[in-house]
Structure 1
Amino acid sequence: MSNQNTAQNTTPNTAEALSRVIQWLRERHDRIMAVEAEGLRLLEAGDTPGHNAKMREKAEMLAALCTDAKPLLAQLPGELRFKLTLALEHFSGNARNALGFNSVFYMSALLYPDNHKKGEPDNLTLCIDRIEQQGENFL
């Protein structure tokens, strides 16, 4: 059975579908980071309501991440689709919690570990990198 899974996981269609998922995730990540950067710019300019609105927009984009990825994930074999769905649901679930608490602090901290230092990659970047590195063997 494991040989059958290996054969299934090495098909060009799976590699192409996974490549599309990774590209989509990187594009979505870039959009999320642009919203966050705009929010930080607004905060530095003294526009707290504008900042808060951008943090909410960031959280809403993350909350929708897993659902929005479903059409792309559907093109992957079952086990890989399941593992990627779990990984993306982690980000979406945290964002839904932040929105539910209506916590701008929580929304702004989405994607970052407690000990995050400026210039280090955020958790979504690390996840996407891991997907790309592990490919069809993503855990």
Structure 2
Amino acid sequence: MLKTEADRIRQLESQAKLALHENNDPKNHKLLMTKKCGVLMALPEQAQPLVTALEPWLAASVTEELSSMATRAAQAVELDSVFYMAALLYPEDYQEGAPNSLEEWIDSLA
């Protein structure tokens, strides 16, 4: 489920990039970035059935990380900052093609 949502975020980001750079459509870019934030904000609730099946120590860690991502996404939406929305999941030193922080975190759970 988490991997599916991470893939969905990548797809939204790709569509947003296309909207902005190829179609010169900042309105659609913002809409797609807002949808990305919506996916992140929904993760804690969507993952709840998986979390309840985990060992308590791991469940707490997963819940904390997902809640943190959701909070940052909600802040980006509240600020109405497309830049902040786009920067979510990407550290300052991110290299194109590398996993984002959500993907890295999911891989660390395996």
TM-score interval (norm. to shorter):
over 0.9
Q: Give the RMSD, CA atoms, in angstroms.
A: 1.0
Secondary structure of the 1:64 match is: helix
Q: Which residue does 1:31 correspond to in 2?
A: 8
Pairwise mapping of residues 60-139 of structure 1 onto structure 2 (< 5 A)? 60-132=38-110
Q: How many percent identity over aligned positions?
A: 34
Structure 2 CA distance for aligned equivalents of residues 87 and 48 of structure 1: 30
Shift in Å at residue 119 of structure 1?
1.5
Unpaired segments of 5 or more residues in structure 2?
none
Please tell me the residue identity of whatever aligns with 2:4: E
Q: What 5-or-longer segments of structure 1 have no aligned partner? A: 1-23, 133-139
**Larger Rg belongs to:** 1
| CA distance in 2: counterparts of 1:123 and 1:76, whole angstroms | 21
The count of residues paired between Structure 1 and Structure 2 equals 109
Rounded to whole Å, the distance in 1 between the matches of 2:77 and 2:28 is: 16
Q: Structure 2-normalised TM-score?
A: 0.93
TM-score (norm. length: structure 1): 0.75
Tell me how far 1:74 sits from its aligned partner. Answer: 1.3
d(CA) in 2 for partners of 1:71, 1:50: 33
Counting only pairs closer than 5 Å after superposition, residues 3-42 of structure 1 correspond to structure 2 as 24-42=1-19
* TM superposition shift of 1:77: 2.4
Q: Deviations over 1:79-102 (max 9, x none)?
A: 211111112112111111111111
Runs of 4+ in 1 over 3 A off after TM superposition: none
